[in-house]
Amino acid sequence: LSGLRSPSLPWKQLSDLASILSCWIQSTSAQDDPVRIVPIPPYGTVGSNVLLTILGFTEKGSTYTWYRKTSEVSNEIASYEFDTRVQTPEDSREKILPDGALLIPNLSLSDASIYILHITIYKVGVAVYEVITQLRVYEKLARPNITANSIKVRENESLVFTCSTENERANIVWFFNNQPLPLTERTDTSENNQTLTIKSVRREDAGIYQCEAWNPIDAKRSNPFSLMPDDNTKKGSSLSTGAIIGIVIGELVGIVLIGALIYFLFIRKTGR
């Protein structure tokens, strides 16, 4: 409950009703529970319905007017007259119930916004109560996909994982061997957690990596990515230096023998 708007009455009537109206407003606003709007369910889901209910208001409103984002006339959703039970406009997608609650069907992400309710009461004067709430709308998530900048990585090299998701508003967390990944001096994530960098990969980094996309209504985890760093000691040839020299000498001897054989056959054929 944020305030009371100035009465729109002629100045002559205002002077006569000032004290009475002041007392009536104080007794109405000094309730045990503050007037508030509660979404049911607490979070909206794309494709479902949500009801913005009014709690803590003991009076009967004469007119309920709902707005989105701001209380400017251009942002008015609809208005409901309690006496006539008529909503204006009648063909609005959103429906105002007799108790002033707002029903929003078939939610989309664009319905996530600030909602403002003006409750107008006509008694000895005109009082307008303003109540504000925020509605959050989320969507069911698709399974994210995890990729790496290298299929094979050796110890002491860097590796970058990327988590791709179809849902732009989803939060991302990383898992290692089915447990939340603790960040160390060798691991780092981007601002939106979409990438995970492992600096100077070690043997203890071997295991299963996954990323998870989540929001307050859903969570999906990627398929596992298995990391098995190659040992640097296996880099290049596994033969010893002596063995390599022996192979080279053997190849040279073979070339010489083949050359000598060809020369002998040539001499024999020509008879020289």
pLDDT digits (tens, 9 = 90+) for 70-86: 999 999 999 999 999 99
| Residue 107 in tokens | 């939610």
Q: How many whole angstroms separate alpha carbon 98 and alpha carbon 154?
A: 69
- Return the ∠ at Cα 124 (arms to 119 and 126), rounded to 5°: 30
CA-to-CA separations, 268 to 26, 251, 265, in angstroms, rounded: 129, 26, 5
Domains 11-138 and 145-232 share a fold: yes
**Cβ neighbours of 219 (radius 10 Å):** 13
Per-residue pLDDT tens over the stretch 19-77: 333 323 333 344 455 889 999 999 999 999 999 999 998 888 899 999 999 999 999 99
Residues of the chain with pLDDT > 90, as a percent, come to 62
Confidence of residue 194 (pLDDT cuts 50, 70, 90): very high
What number is the average pLDDT over the span 3-22? Answer: 38
* Residue appearing with tokens 């160390």: 184
Token pair belonging to 214: 């989540």
pLDDT of residue 247: 65
CATH topology of domain 145-232: Immunoglobulin-like (2.60.40)
Domain ranges of the chain: 11-138, 145-232
> Tokens 């024999």 label which residue?
268
Number of residues in the chain: 272
CATH code reported for the domain at 11-138: 2.60.40.10
The DSSP H or E segment spanning 257 is helix 241-270
Q: What is the mean pLDDT of the chain?
A: 82
pTM score, two decimals? 0.67
pLDDT at 120 over 50: yes
